[in-house]
Amino acid sequence: MSDYETVSADVEHEDEIPADHPRYQDLLTRHRIEKGVEKGITHLQGMHAEGRGSAFDYLLGEETIPSADAAERAAAAHLLLADHPVLSINGNVAALVPAEMVELADVVDADLEVNLFNRTPERLEAIADHLRGHGADEVKGLEADARIPNLDHQRAKVDEDGIYAADVVLVPLEDGDRAEALEEMGKTEIVIDLNPLSRSPRVADVPIVDNIVRAVPNTTAHARNLADASEAELEVIVEEFDRERALEAAEERIRTGL
Ligand code: ATP
């Protein structure tokens, strides 16, 4: 049995988690979600979402599989081609990858918009502050002056000059109803979700079946590599990406380990 078999649940700071622990990334992720709940950034339900994600990640081998890497490259191409790309932030995203989302937004020139399932003014403000603390200049989602059609009132709230007007949206860990409603609005939708059977990746133009802690930095790396690519080259990457094949490859890895 490893010395690290048990890592105390009351680790105060993530530096206390041994970096060579075999489950390091999972422990770090759990710790960040717990801190997110403590800070009022993440809803308690976010912990359940994290638990589901963690089980799928275990079965994927806790690595970015080749089809996910291809999806991340296609996502980078879509974001670079977009007229008005927006990255949507919820409580889990803010807790897990705040600096990484700010960096991606910088590289592809996108807006950041807070969009919550369990929406309260306190959580909206806490998340916006948290993002600003990680370098964001402007955070959208506080105005909520437009509505996504065909969704109940609370979940439909978006900014008119943000998600409402966007042509390409990155919606990580999105709830299925909202993902469907955004798709119906005709947006190009990029979803990050570890469950390939969940409704959100199934309606996405680009389903990324990968842990958000790997997916966002890898998408940024692709965007940097593609910074000098022509529009025609980016369009070829978008055309060649096969969403059905990506979903099938992820499901096969989870079911068979292959
Ligand atoms: P549906 O999309 O059909 O409504 P659901 O109810 O399971 O499915 P939610 O609870 O709304 O979905 O969202 C949680 C989703 O986020 C799960 O599919 C889970 O696998 C995924 N998830 C959780 N943590 C991560 C993570 N770190 N990276 C990527 N995906 C994650």
Which CATH number is 208's domain given? Answer: 3.40.50.12640
Residue 125 domain flag = yes
Residue 22 domain flag = no
pTM of the shown model: 0.95
Is there an atom of ligand 1 within 6 Å of 195 CB? yes
Residue 141 domain flag = yes
What pLDDT, in 10s, does the model give residues 201-246? 999 999 999 999 999 999 999 999 999 999 999 999 999 999 999 9
In the annotated binding site for ATP, the residues are: 30, 52, 193-195, 199-200, 211-212
Q: How far is the CA of 190 from the centre of ligand 1 (A)?
A: 14
Residue 5 domain flag = no
Q: Which atom belonging to ligand 1 lies closest to the Cα atom of 175?
A: 11
CA 178 to chain centre: 14
CA-nearest residue for atom 16, ligand 1, is 173
Residue 161 domain flag = yes
Q: How many domains would you assign to the chain?
A: 1
What pLDDT, in 10s, does the model give residues 92-135? 999 999 999 999 999 999 999 999 988 899 999 999 999 999 99
Contact (Cβ atoms closer than 8 angstroms) between residue 133 and residue 158: no
Provide φ and ψ at 161, rounded to 5°. Answer: -95, 15
In the annotated binding site, the residues are: 30, 52, 193-195, 199-200, 211-212
DSSP for the chain reads --TTS---TT-SSGGGS-TT-TTHHHHHHHHHHHHHHHTTSS-THHHHHHHHHHHHHHHHTSS--HHHHHHHHHHHHHHHH-SSEEEEE-HHHHHH-HHHHHHHHHHHT-EEEE--SS--HHHHHHHHHHHHHTT-S--BSSS--EE-TTS-HHHHEE-TTTGGG-SEEEEET--HHHHHHHHHTT-EEEEE-S-TTSHHHHH-SEEE-S-HHHHHHHHHHHHHHTTT--HHHHHHHHHH--HHHHHHHHHHHHHH--
Residues 6+ apart with CB under 8 A from 51: none
Residue 57 domain flag = no
CA-nearest residue for atom 2, ligand 1, is 176
Q: How far is the CA of 52 from the centre of ligand 1 (A)?
A: 7
Mean pLDDT of 22-37: 92
Q: How far is the CA of 46 from the centre of ligand 1 (A)?
A: 9
Residue 53 domain flag = no
Residue 28 domain flag = no
Domain around 245: 66-256
**CA geometry: angle at 212 spanning 73 and 117, to 5°?**
120
Q: How far is the CA of 245 from the centre of ligand 1 (A)?
A: 20
pLDDT at res. 1: 44
Tracing tokens 């490259």 back to the chain, one arrives at: 73
Q: How far is the CA of 29 from the centre of ligand 1 (A)?
A: 14
